[in-house]
Amino acid sequence: MDAELATLCQACGLCCDGSLFGRVPLAPGEAASARRNRLLVLDSERGFEQPCTALSVRDTRSGPEHVCSIYRERPTACRSFACRLYDRHEREGGPLEPRLAAVQRVRQLVADLQAQGLSPTDFEADPGNPSRPSESAKLAYAELMRRLEEDFARA
Ligand code: SF4
Ligand code: SF4
Domains of the chain by residue range? 21-81, 83-155
> What pTM did the predictor assign?
0.90
Confirm or reject: Cβ of 100 under 6 Å from ligand 2: no
Confirm or reject: Cβ of 14 under 6 Å from ligand 2: no
Which of 17, 35, 36, 55 has most ligand 2 atoms within 8 Å of CB, for mutation?
A: 55
Residues in the chain: 155
pLDDT digits (tens, 9 = 90+) for 5-52: 999 999 999 999 998 899 999 999 999 999 999 999 999 999 999 999
pLDDT digits (tens, 9 = 90+) for 78-133: 999 999 999 999 999 999 999 999 999 999 998 898 888 887 777 776 655 656 77
- By alpha-carbon position, which residue is closest to atom 8 of ligand 2? 16
pLDDT at site 114: 87
Confirm or reject: Cβ of 20 under 6 Å from ligand 2: no
- Secondary structure of the chain in the HEC alphabet? CHHHHHHHHHHHCCCCCCCCCCEEECCCCCHHHHHHCCCCECCCCCEEECCCCCEEEEEECCEEEEEECCHHHCCHHHHHCCEHHHHHHHHHCCCCHHHHHHHHHHHHHHHHHHHCCCCHHHHCCCCCCCCCCCHHHHHHHHHHHHHHHHHHCEC
